[in-house]
A and B are shown apart, each in its own frame.
Chain A
Amino acid sequence: MAPQTCRRPDKSMESKALNNATKRLWKRWGWIFLFAVSLLLILFTPLPIPSNSPADRNIRIEASMFQFSPGELKVNQGDRVTIELVSTDVVHGFSLDGYNFELKADPGQTATGTFIADKSGVFRFRCSVACGNLHPFMIGKLKVGPNLLLLRSIALSLLAVIAALVSLRMFPDQQSRYIK
C-alpha cells in the first residue's frame, strides 16, 4: 500500500517537470522566431519616402588633389542631377557608386553630365583617374533622399542589445558565474 501512495505524487511531479521543459522549449523558439521576424522587418520593411516633385539640380564640384568640394551632396529621389566637374590642378575623374555615371575633367576644364537620381540611399563617388598618392581615397558622398539604411541599422543595433540580454536568459551558459 505504502509504496503506491508514494509513487503517485512522484508521477505528477515528473509530468510537471516535463511540462515545464516543453514550455521552456516553446518559449525559446518563440523568442528566436520573434527576433528573426523583427530582424527581417527592420531590414526589409518598405518605408514611405517623402515624395518631392522631381527638380532639376545643378551642382558644381571642384576637384583637386585629393578632395571634392563640396564633398557631400544632397538631392531628392527622382531629381535630375547635373554635375559640373571642375578640376583645379591635374586630371580628375568622378565615378558614382551604384549609378553608371562617370565624368573626367582635364586641368582647368569643366566636364558636365546629367543623371536621374532614381535610387535612394547614400552613394560614394570616387576619383577615377590616378592623380597621386591619396587618389584611392579621394571620395565624396551623394545622399539621395533620407538615409533609410542608417535608420534601419540603428533599430537593428537596439534589437541586437535586447537579443543579447534575452539570449543569456534563455540559454544560460556554463561559463557565467552570476547568471542562474
Chain B
Amino acid sequence: MTRLDLTHISWTQTLLRSRWPQFLLRAITLAGFVFTIFAGLFGSVVGSHNFAIIFVWIAWWTALKLFFIPFGGRSWCSICPIPMPGEWLQNGGILQPCGKGIGLGKRWPKAMRGSWLQAGGFLMVGLFGAVTLTSPLVTAIVLMVILLLALILSLVFERRSFCNYLCPIGGFTGLYAQVGPVEVRVKDADICAAHDEKVCYDACPWGLYPLALKSSANCGLCMECLRVCPTDNIAVNLRPWGSDLGSKTKHNLDEAFLGLVMLASALVDSAIFLGPWGQLKSAAYAIGSLPWLLFAGVFIVVALGILPGLYIAAVWASMRLGAIKTTLRQSLAQFSQLLVPLGMMAWIAFTISFAFAKFSYVLPVISDPLGWGWNLIGMSGTSWVGQSTSFSLLLQVVLLAVGLFWASRVARRITESVKQALPLIAFSIIFSLSMLWLLIG
C-alpha cells in the first residue's frame, strides 16, 4: 500500500523531531483547559453564553470529529492537556524526561485492561449528557475530575494508564484512529530486531513497542519513539483511510463493545438533541427523577440490549454461512471492524447537523467568554438561532451513504463470500436507516 513518510521530508522531520512545536501547542491547550474550568466555575450559568460550554461541546468536540480524527487519527492525544501534569511528574521534567521522576509506576491490573472501562465511561457521559452539555458548572466539574484523576493515576500506575484504559475520549479517538490517515511504524523491521536496547519501548508513554505496532488504535502520535531511536528507524506515514481494517488485522472483543456503544450513543444523542420530542429532552435533563430513570433505562437497553443483540444475530448468521470454523467470540471480535467506518461517518453526519446550526455561538463567546457583558472582539450578542440548510441535509445523507458503502466493503473483505457478508451488511443498513430517519426524517 502507498505511504508517504513524513520523516523523509526535511521540514516535517524537523517539526516532528523537535519538542518545541508540540510543547507550545500543549501549553496552549493546557491554558485553554484551565481557562475553561475557570469560566465554567465563575462565568454565566447560561450555557450558550459561557465559554466552557461552547468551547468544549461545540468548538472542540466538533473539531475532534471533523478535523483531528479524520485527518490525523489520534493527533488530538499528542496535544491533549489532560495527562500533562502527571506526565511532568513521571518524567521529572517539563519539556523532556530528566532523570528519575515521581510515581509508583505500578502496572495496570490485568482484569481492567482493554477498552471496556472507556466504553463504560462514554456511556456515562451519554447518560448525563443533557446536563453536562448545557451546564457550565457541571462541565467544569467534569473537567476537573478528569484532570485530577489522570494526575492521581499517573502517580500510581505506569505511563499513560489513564489514557489507555479509562479516558472515554481516548476510547472514541482510538477506535476511529484505525481508519485515520496517519500511522507511526518502523522503517526496517530487521534493524529493530537486531537492536536489543528497546529505547523506544522505554520512552513510549503508551507502553507500545513500535516494532509490534499493527494498529494505530493505541498510538498517541507523541513522537517520543522517533526522538529516541538511535538509527532513525521510525516512520510517520500518511496512508490511505481505513488502513487498519481488513482480513489480516487482529481485533478483540472489547472493540466490538466500544464500537456498539459509540453507535448507540450516536443514535441516542441524535434523538435527544435533534429530535422533536420535548419530553425526551426534559427526561434526559432531570437527572435522578423518574422520567430520567426511564430514559436511562431505554438508553441502556438500546446500547447494551437491542444494538448488541442485532449485532450478535448478524455475526451468528454470518458465521453459519461461512466455511471456516470459528467461535462466536472470535467472530464478534473480528467482524467488529465494520462498526468503525459505520460509526465514524454517523458521528460526522451528526456533528454536521448539530454543530453547523450552533456555530454562530462561537465568536460571541470569544468576545464575552464569561457572559459578564464584555465585548473583547466586538462580536458579543451576534449569535443567531442558526438553522440547517438544505445543503447540510444533503451532506448528511451523502456522509451516511459513504459510511454504509465503506462498512459494506469492510464486511465483504473480512468474510469469505458475498453471502456471508450479507447479514453484516443488513446490520449496517438497519443502523444507517435509523440514523437517517433521526437526522433528516
Which chain A residue shows the least CB distance to B405?
A160
Residues of A within 8 A of B278 (CB): 64, 66-69, 71, 138
Cross-chain contact A133 with B47 (CB below 8 angstroms)? yes
B412 near A126: Cβ-Cβ < 8 Å: no
In the complex, chain A residues whose CB is within 8 Å of the CB of B425: 161
A174 located at the interface, meaning its Cβ lies under 8 Å from any Cβ of chain B in the complex: yes
User: Size band of the A side of the interface?
Assistant: 35 or more
> Does A122 count as interface, using CB distance less than 8 angstroms?
yes
**B408-420 CB contact bits vs A (8 Å, 1 = yes)?**
1100110111100
Do A71 and B413 contact each other (CB < 8 Å), given the known contacts A43-B394, A130-B48, A135-B48? no
Task: Tell me which of A64, A72, A177 contacts B276 (CB under 8 A).
Answer: A72
Distance, CA A147 to CA B438, complexed state (A)? 13
Check: B134 CB closer than 8 A to any chain A CB. Answer: yes
Is the beta-carbon distance between B429 and A161 smaller than 8 angstroms?
Answer: yes
The answer to whether the Cβ of A108 comes within 8 Å of any Cβ in the partner chain is no
| A134 cross-chain contacts in B, Cβ below 8 A | 130, 134, 281-282, 285
Which stretch in A7-15, A24-32, A91-99 binds the other chain?
Answer: A91-99
Q: In the bound complex, do residue A153 and residue B276 qualify as a contact, i.e. CB atoms below 8 Å apart? A: no
Are A178 and B247 neighbours in the complex by a CB distance under 8 Å? yes
Closest chain-B Cβ to A101's Cβ sits at a distance in Å of: 11
B436 touches A153 (CB 8 A): yes
B387: interface (CB < 8 Å): yes
Q: How far is the CA of A153 from the CA of B401 in the complex (A)?
A: 8
Query: Which A residues lie within 8 Å of B146 (CB)?
Result: none
Cβ 8 A contact of A157, one of B47, B385, B416, B432: B432
A163 to B263, CA, bound (A): 23
Q: Do A157 and B400 form a contact, CB below 8 Å, given A122-B441, A124-B387, A149-B440?
A: yes
CB-CB < 8 A to A178: which residues of B?
247, 413, 415-417
Could you tell me the distance between the alpha carbons of A145 and B40 in the complex, rounded to whole angstroms? Answer: 44
Q: Is B4 an interface residue (CB 8 A)?
A: no
Residues of B within 8 A of A168 (CB): 409, 412-413
A135-178 interface bits toward B, Cβ cutoff 8 Å, 1 = contact, 0 = none: 11111110000010110111011011101110110000111111
Min CB distance B55 to A, Å, is 15
Interface of A is mostly: mixed
Give the chain A neighbours of B357 by CB distance below 8 A. 126
* Given contacts A153-B400, A164-B408, A164-B412, A93 and B385 within 8 Å (CB-CB): yes
Quick one: which of B390, B415, B432 contacts A98, CB cutoff 8 A?
B390
A window 101-136: CB within 8 A of B: 121-122, 124, 126-128, 130, 133-136
The residues in B between 363 and 406 inclusive whose CB is less than 8 angstroms from any CB of A are 385-390, 393-394, 397-398, 400-402, 404-406
Residue B11, interface by CB 8 Å = no
Determine whether the beta carbon of B413 is less than 8 Å from that of A179. Answer: yes
Complex: chain B residue closest to A159, CB-CB:
B401
A176 CB contact (under 8 Å) in B247, B285, B385, B398 = B247
- Bound CA span A175–B214, Å: 14
Chain A neighbourhood of B388, CB < 8 A: 97, 124
Task: Give bound CA distance, A66 to B389, whole Å.
Answer: 23
Pick the contact of B389: A98, A127, A136, A163 (CB < 8 A): A98
Q: Contacts A97-B388, A98-B387, A140-B276: A163 and B436 contacting too (C-beta < 8 A)?
A: no
Determine if B275 is an interface residue (Cβ-Cβ < 8 Å).
yes
Closest residue to A168 on the B side, CB-wise? B412
Known A-B contacts A153-B440, A175-B246; A136 and B274 likewise in contact (beta carbons under 8 Å) = no
- Please, which residues of chain A bring their CB within 8 A of the CB of B394? 43, 149
- B433 CB–A CB distance under 8 Å: yes
B135 at the interface (CB under 8 A from A): yes
Query: Which residues of the other chain, B, contact A164 by a CB distance below 8 angstroms?
Result: 404-406, 408-409, 412
B residues in contact with A173, CB < 8 Å: 413
Chain A residues lying within 8 Å of B408, measured Cβ to Cβ, are 160-161, 164-165
Q: Quick one: given A68-B278, A122-B441, A177-B248, are A157 and B436 in contact (CB under 8 Å)?
A: yes
Residue of A nearest to B428 (CB): A161
Question: Given the complex of chains A and B, what is the CA–CA distance between A56 and B311 in angstroms?
Answer: 48
In this assembly, does B24 line the interface, its C-beta being within 8 Å of a C-beta of chain A?
Answer: no
CB distance from B391 to the nearest CB of A (A): 11
Closest Cβ of chain B: how far from A95's Cβ, in Å?
A: 5
Interface contact B385-A160, CB-CB below 8 Å: no
A-B pairs with beta carbons under 8 Å apart, 7 shown: A66-B278, A67-B282, A122-B441, A136-B361, A137-B134, A139-B276, A157-B400
Q: Could you tell me which A residues sit within 8 Å of B by CB distance?
A: 43, 64-69, 71-72, 93, 95, 97-98, 121-122, 124, 126-128, 130, 133-141, 147, 149-150, 152-154, 156-157, 159-161, 163-165, 167-168, 173-179
Other A-B contacts than A121-B393, A124-B388, 19 sampled, CB-CB below 8 A, are: A66-B281, A67-B278, A72-B276, A130-B46, A130-B48, A136-B48, A136-B134, A138-B278, A140-B276, A150-B437, A153-B436, A156-B397, A156-B398, A161-B429, A164-B409, A164-B412, A165-B421, A173-B413, A178-B417
The 8 A-B residue pairs with the shortest CB-CB distance in the complex, in nearest-first order = A67-B278, A164-B408, A71-B276, A97-B387, A160-B405, A133-B134, A175-B246, A177-B247
